[in-house]
Structure 1
Amino acid sequence: MPPPNPTHRFFVESALWHSSLGNLDLTLKALQRVAQINGKQKEGAKLSVELLQMSLQKHQAQPSMLQMLRSPALRQLFFCITPLWFVLLFSLYGVVMSLQSFEINIYLAQVFFTIVDPPFYFLGFLATKSLGRKRTQTASVLLSGVFIVTCAMIPLDRIFLRITMAVIGKGCLIGSMNCLFMYMGELYPTVMRQRGVNVTNCLANIGSILSPLVGMTSDLYPSLPLFIYGGVLVAACPITAPLPETLGLPLPNTLQDLERRWKEKSGQKQQEQQMVPLQSS
C-alpha cells in the first residue's frame, strides 16, 4: 500500500472531472466549495443533485468531428485557423533551416535565432492584452512576412543586414504562433476544444513537412526560398478577417454559443455597413 500523499488535501479534483465520471455528489461538494471560496454561499446552497442532473442531460451530447463540417460557424472557424497555422509552421521551419544561406557561423546564427524568442513572447503577450487577439495575430503575421521578404531582397554580401531582418522576422513568427495557440483555445467551444486543436495541429504539421522541399529551390536562386516563406505569410493575412475578437469575452461552451457569437459578429458588421452615410454625387 503506497504511503499517503500529504498534498492531496490542497489539490482536489475539479467539479468537471467528477461530473464526467458521474459522481454528482462529489460534483455538488466541489461546486459548493468554490461558491464558499468566492463568497457566494447563497448561490451554492441553491445547488442540488437534481439541478446538476438536469444540466448534464442538457449538455451531455458530445459533438463528433463530423459536426465540424455541418456547423457553419465551426466550419468557417476550422477553415480559417488550419491554413493560418499551416503557413506559420511552414515558414518557421523554412527560415530556421535556411541558416546556412547566411554565410556565417551556423552556431552563431542559431544563437541569434534563439535569443530573440523570449522578448517577442513577452511583446506578443502585451499586444494580445492591449490590442486584442485578432489585431495582434494579423499584425504579427504581416510583419513577419515583410521582414522575411525584405531579407530575401537584400544582396547576399550584406550579411549583417540580412541576418537582422531574418531574426526579426523569426521573432514575429514566434509571437504570432504564441498568439494563435491562445486564440485557438478561445475560439473552439469547450465541448470539442481539445479535439479541434489536435486536428488543426495534425493537419497544419503538413506545412513543416513541405518546408524542406521549398528549400531545394535555392539551386535556382539563392533567396527564392525566403521569398516563398515570406510571401505566403503576407498572403495569409486576410485569413484572420472572418475571425471574431475574443478579448474579454467568456469562452464558448457549446456549438450554440459559438454560432451565437458568429451571428452577433455578422449582425454587427451589417449594422456598421448600414450606418455609413450616403454621399451625394
Structure 2
Amino acid sequence: MLGLPVGGWWSDKRGRKEAFIVGTVILQVPAAMSVWLPSYEIYAAARFLFGFGQAVMDMTAFVLVTEVLGEQMASVPVWWMNSMFAIGQIAMSPLAMVMTHWRELNLAIAVLLATLLAVMCSLSESPKWLASQGRTSEAHKVLCRIAKVNKRPKPPPIAEPDLQITQKQQTAGVGVLCDRRLTVRFVVSCITWFCVSAAFYGLGLSAGSIPLSLYASNLLNGVVQVAGYVTGGYLIQRHWCGRKGAVVGGFLVGGACLLLSAFVRQKVVLLMFYYAGSFGVSTSFGVVFLYTAELFPTNVRGLALGINSLFARVGAMLSPYVAVAGSINHTLPPLIFGVMCLVAGGLQVLLPETRGVKLPDTVDDIGRVPAEDNS
C-alpha cells in the first residue's frame, strides 16, 4: 500500500522510467534474498520491500505504456499487460504442483523476475511526461527514436511550452486532485477501484469453495480473466461502447451473475454463474486502469493512479473477511460482491467518456471535445 502513493508521486516528479527502474530493483533484491532468509521476522521485512517495489513498478509501468502508445493502441495495455498478469496466475498452478516447498517456488519466481533487469536499459522516458516538464528537446529525441524503430517519418519539433505553465505543472501535487473539475472523477474512481478490487480478489479467494480442485479452479480463473481482458480491449475501441461502456457492462454482468449465484446450488449452474461473474469483473478490472489514466492530467496521472490503487488494496485486504463470511451464510459473499459491482457500475454515469479524447496535460485540458471517429 505504501508503495502506491509514493510511486505515483515519484513518477510524476522524477519521471516514469526512473520510478519503474527503482521499483524493479527494490522488487528483485528481496525476491532473491527471501529464499535463504533464516527467520520469519527478516522474511516479513523482505516481503514488505517486495510489495513496495511491486506496487511502484506495476503502477508506473502502466502509466508509461499508456502515455507512449496513445489512443490508437490504447487496447494494448488493457488486454496484453493484464493478460500477462492472468497468465502468470495460470503458470502458478503447475509450478506449485511441481515445487511443493515454498523456498523452491520463491526461487523460481526470483529467476523469472531477473528477466526484468535485462530489459530496463532499453527503456525510454515517457515523451508526454518530458514535454509536460518543459524538456521538449528530450521528448522529441524519444519520439524520433520511436519513429525510427517503427520505420515512420520523424515527427516535427515540439513547441516550447509557456514557462509559467511548465512551473505550475512541475509543482502540482495532491491539491490538484481537489480541483472542482477533478473532484467527482477522483471520488468515483476511488470507489470504483475499491469495489472492483474487492470483487476481483474475493472471487479468487472463493475459488476453493466451488466444486473443483484448488489447482483446477485457479487455472480456470486465469483463463476466464484473460478472456475478460481481451474482451475489454476489444470493447474500448468500439464507438458504441468505449471505456465507460466496457466498465459499466463488466460491472453489470459481474454483479448480476454474482447475485444469481447466491441462490443456486446446482453444480453446473453455479460454475456457470461463478465464471460468468469472474469474466465480467475481469473485464472491468482490466479497463479501469486505462480509463482512470485517461481521466487525469499528465502532471498528476501517476499520483492519481497511485491513490486509486491504494483504495484497491484496501478492497483486496477486506475481501478475505467477506469470503470468510460464507462460513456463516453461503449467500453473503456473492451478495456483497454483487451489490458492490452494481453500485460501482451505476456511479460511472458521473464520469465522461474518454475514447477519442487526447490525454490531458493539465487541468485546463479537462472537458476537451472527443475527436470524430467512425470506427
Fold equivalence (TM over 0.5): yes
| 2:321 pairs with 1:213 | yes
After superposition, the C-alpha distances for 1:145-202 in whole angstroms (9 at most, x for unaligned) are 11111111112xx112111211111111111111111111111111111111011101
Could you say which residue in structure 2 is the equivalent of 1:203? 311
| 2:182 pairs with 1:80 | no
Alpha carbons 2:251, 2:342 under 8 Å: kept: yes
| 2:55 pairs with 1:55 | no
Alpha carbons 2:132, 2:166 under 8 Å: kept: no
Alpha carbons 1:82, 1:200 under 8 Å: kept: yes
Alpha carbons 2:129, 2:298 under 8 Å: kept: no
Aligned partners of 1:35, 1:110: CA distance in 2, in Å? 41
Alpha carbons 2:134, 2:166 under 8 Å: kept: no
| 2:258 pairs with 1:151 | no
Could you say which residue in structure 2 is the equivalent of 1:188? 296
Could you say which residue in structure 2 is the equivalent of 1:134? 244
Alpha carbons 1:101, 1:222 under 8 Å: kept: no
Q: 1:246 pairs with 350, 354, 365, which one?
A: 354
Could you say which residue in structure 1 is the equivalent of 2:341? 233
Could you say which residue in structure 2 is the equivalent of 1:222? 330
Could you say which residue in structure 2 is the equivalent of 1:91? 199
Aligned partners of 1:179, 1:134: CA distance in 2, in Å? 9
Could you say which residue in structure 2 is the equivalent of 1:277? none
Residue identity opposite 1:178 in structure 2: G
* Matched residue count: 244
Alpha carbons 1:68, 1:78 under 8 Å: kept: yes
TM superposition shift of 1:19: 6.3
Residue identity opposite 1:206 in structure 2: V
Could you say which residue in structure 1 is the equivalent of 2:211? 103
Aligned partners of 1:126, 1:198: CA distance in 2, in Å? 26
TM superposition shift of 1:229: 1.0
Aligned partners of 1:84, 1:256: CA distance in 2, in Å? 24
- Given the superposition, is the C-alpha separation of residues 22 and 55 from structure 1 closer, same or farther in structure 2, using an over 3 Å criterion? closer
Residue identity opposite 2:300 in structure 1: M
- Given the superposition, is the C-alpha separation of residues 104 and 65 from structure 1 closer, same or farther in structure 2, using an over 3 Å criterion? same
Alpha carbons 2:207, 2:218 under 8 Å: kept: yes
Could you say which residue in structure 2 is the equivalent of 1:65? 174
1:247 aligned counterpart, secondary structure: coil
After superposition, the C-alpha distances for 1:242-263 in whole angstroms (9 at most, x for unaligned) are 11111111111101112x44xx
| 2:266 pairs with 1:171 | no
Residue identity opposite 2:162 in structure 1: S
2:174 aligned counterpart, secondary structure: coil
Aligned partners of 2:322, 2:253: CA distance in 1, in Å? 21
Alpha carbons 2:237, 2:355 under 8 Å: kept: yes
TM-align CA RMSD: 3.1
Q: Which moved more, 1:203-212 or 1:101-110?
A: 101-110
Unpaired runs of at least 5, structure 2? 1-118, 371-375
Aligned partners of 2:190, 2:228: CA distance in 1, in Å? 23
TM-score (norm 2): 0.58
After superposition, the C-alpha distances for 1:85-144 in whole angstroms (9 at most, x for unaligned) are 100111111111112322332222222212212222211111111111111111111100
1:82 aligned counterpart, secondary structure: helix
Aligned partners of 2:365, 2:146: CA distance in 1, in Å? 24
- Given the superposition, is the C-alpha separation of residues 111 and 192 from structure 1 closer, same or farther in structure 2, using an over 3 Å criterion? same
1:75 aligned counterpart, secondary structure: helix
Percent identical: 25
Alpha carbons 2:176, 2:300 under 8 Å: kept: no
Aligned partners of 2:348, 2:228: CA distance in 1, in Å? 20
- Given the superposition, is the C-alpha separation of residues 172 and 25 from structure 1 closer, same or farther in structure 2, using an over 3 Å criterion? closer
- Given the superposition, is the C-alpha separation of residues 55 and 165 from structure 1 closer, same or farther in structure 2, using an over 3 Å criterion? same
Residue identity opposite 2:167 in structure 1: Q
Residue identity opposite 1:210 in structure 2: L
Residue identity opposite 1:252 in structure 2: P
Residue identity opposite 2:193 in structure 1: W
TM superposition shift of 1:12: 6.7
Alpha carbons 2:128, 2:298 under 8 Å: kept: no
1:97 aligned counterpart, secondary structure: helix
Residue identity opposite 1:144 in structure 2: G
